[in-house]
Amino acid sequence: MKAIRVKSHGGPEVLTLEDIPDPKPGAAEAVVKLEAAGLNYIDVYYRTGLYKVQLPLTLGLEGAGVVTAVGPNVTEVRVGDLVAYTGVAGAYAQLAAVPAARLVKLPEGLDAKAGAAAMLQGMTAHYLSHSTYPLKPGDWCLVHAAAGGVGLLLCQMAKMRGARVIGTVSTEAKATLAREAGADAVILYTQQDFEAEVKRVTGGAGVQVVYDSVGETTFDKSLNCLAMRGMLALYGQSSGPVSPFDPAILNQKGSLFLTRPSLFHYTASREELLQRAGEVLGWIKAGKLRLRVDLTLPLSEAAEAHRRLEGRQTTGKVLLIP
């Protein structure tokens, strides 16, 4: 089969399309014939080496397609099921062997592209808005990179919970998308001081939670945007990692909470995975949650997809088609 492999860390040019042996299902595994793979910012961290991973590696943590074989002791899926998954490396490929306990059957009416677009970013938006800081009606939240893959879904889910949303984006075109996703106010954080704008919009009160995926360039001011006893959910670092930090600052700025969550700890059990995925996929099917697939490229153009994601040229989801 064909797969995109990383043999050494580096820029998008290290992504190479290779022929490697077809996977066979081990015990408790199923082989999925992938129809779409989701691109996510974590793929960039794996490629550059910011996150430590064993090389060589087939990249990609999100995919969807049809089960073509199952190993011993598989009870969760059958050959022929249309499934989606996240959290298992190897989705930039034509086939993937996946622990069956990580597979979710897609509801009728949703295709593999929707599945590959929903699992990682959708469940991330879900756990941030429903579990890490469960938004209440009337809360203010600040969503950085609001027109991104997670961002557009998080704005919509925050509105579903009755919260008021301030989004940050880098361009006017992205601002329009964030507003369409429900943001009550949008700040062009590349041109405006977002801390001053958040204070202005909230009448000086600040927000109950900041969902910060940008990291290095936003972290300090994100803390300053919080109301007393507010929470900073630092869930990514698209601009670079945050420098070492003195916890006493949380006291000085108003008994704040800081967390650095990961989707994998919010879908660790099969029960939690099925509950979160079920809600996200159900909302998409019911038309309550809109997926925006901005760009679809063949698998062979994975390097170009990475260039655009890192170059802040994408909005919503990017898919690779094997």
DSSP 168: E
Report H helices in the chain. 41-48, 112-127, 149-160, 172-180, 194-201, 219-224, 248-252, 270-286, 302-310
Between 254 and 261, name the residue whose CB sits nearer to ligand NDP.
Answer: 261
CB of residue 22 to ligand NDP, shortest distance in Å: 29
* Phi/psi at 201 (5° precision): -65, -35
Residue pair 142/200 in contact by the 8 Å Cβ criterion: no
Between the alpha carbon of residue 287 and those of residues 14, 39, 109, 156, 283, the distances in Å are 39, 23, 11, 12, 6
Q: What is the DSSP letter of 148?
A: S
Closer to ligand NDP by CB, 95 or 117: give it: 117
Cβ 291 to ligand NDP, closest distance in Å?
12
The C-alpha angle 284, 139, 129, rounded to 5 degrees, equals: 35
* DSSP conformation class of 103: -
Which residue lies nearer to ligand NDP by CB, 23 or 314? Answer: 314
Q: In angstroms, what is the minimal distance from the CB of 250 to ligand NDP?
A: 20
**Placement of tokens 């990475």 in the chain:** 306
Angstrom distance (rounded) from CA 185 to CA 8? 42
Taking the least distance from each CB to ligand NDP, the nearer of 70 and 121 is 121
Smallest gap, in angstroms, from Cβ of residue 29 to ligand NDP? 24
CB of 301 to ligand NDP, least distance (A): 17
C-beta of 20 vs 188, nearer to ligand NDP: 188
Based on CB atoms, which residue is closest to ligand NDP, 122 or 322? Answer: 122
Which residues would be at the binding site for ligand NDP (CB under 6 A)?
40-42, 120-121, 124, 145, 147-151, 169-170, 174, 213-214, 235-239, 261-263, 309-310, 312, 314
Q: How far is the CB of 182 from ligand NDP (least distance, A)?
A: 16
Least Cα distance to 225 among 275, 172, 168, 169 occurs for: 168
